[in-house]
Amino acid sequence: MNKRKQQAIETKQKLLDAADALVKEKGFDAMSVDEIVALCGVAKGTFYHYFETKDDLLVYLTRAPYDELKRKFAATDGQPYLDRLRMFMTEWFRLVEKYNLHFTVLHNRSTLLQGDPHTRSQSQIDQGRAMLLHCLKGAVESGELKPDTPAETLSLALIFSMQGSAVYQAQNPESFDVAAWSDAFIPLVFHSVLTPYLTEN
């Protein structure tokens, strides 16, 4: 990669980091492009070189945490599938706790902004469901789970429940403890939901 391309990548990331900080400080609607470029020390035209509008940031801001999760998940390749499942759920709830208050709303807006549903990137629910399904199908193939395990149904049930907790937390940020729920939910999945399908039972 040449120096010019590297600088362009770094400048775009600076803009995203500045926007991310401002979102967490005051919310997306309250921040302005002027504040973003001032924080970065670049001209306003630089912002519009990388993003058509302020709303265009939404796609990038809401995608980044889940790209991070996908990288961490990929790094567990080769480990037992049920360990990967536990890791995925733990990390997913960690992201909810860290980003959810602003990003639940922002993600819904960004999904609408990405245009045709057949061409836009996968939603966080679709991405999460795909990783859960990969773990469950892999566990069946490796013999960790029984052949009759309903992997498709379980992956949907789990992601719907997990996403539901994220929505609830966004509505009740002062009273809902994501970390405590994660500590209760994950053992429940392994001790109750998956128990009938474990090969050692």
What tens digit of pLDDT does each residue of 1-54 get? 677 888 888 898 899 889 888 887 887 778 899 999 999 999 999 999 998 888
Whole-angstrom CA distances from 16 to 19, 58, 163, 167, 177 are 5, 10, 25, 24, 28
**pLDDT band for position 125 (50/70/90)?**
confident
Give the ranges where 27-150 is alpha helix by DSSP (H): 33-40, 44-50, 56-74, 81-113, 124-142
Q: What's the CA gap between 118 and 29, in Å, rounded?
A: 28
Q: What's the CA gap between 18 and 13, in Å, rounded?
A: 8
What tens digit of pLDDT does each residue of 185-200 get? 999 999 999 999 999 7
Domains parsed from the chain with CATH numbers: 1-53 (1.10.10.60), 55-197 (1.10.357.10)
| Amino acid, res. 24 | K
Give the model's pLDDT for residue 179: 92
Q: What's the CA gap between 92 and 178, in Å, rounded?
A: 11
DSSP string, 6-33: HHHHHHHHHHHHHHHHHHHHH-TTT--H
pTM above 0.75, yes or no: no
Whole-angstrom CA distances from 119 to 66, 70, 112, 122, 188 are 18, 20, 12, 9, 36
Give the model's pLDDT for residue 157: 96
Percent of the chain with pLDDT over 70: 87
Give the model's pLDDT for residue 122: 55
Q: Report residue 145: phi and psi, to 5°.
A: -120, 155
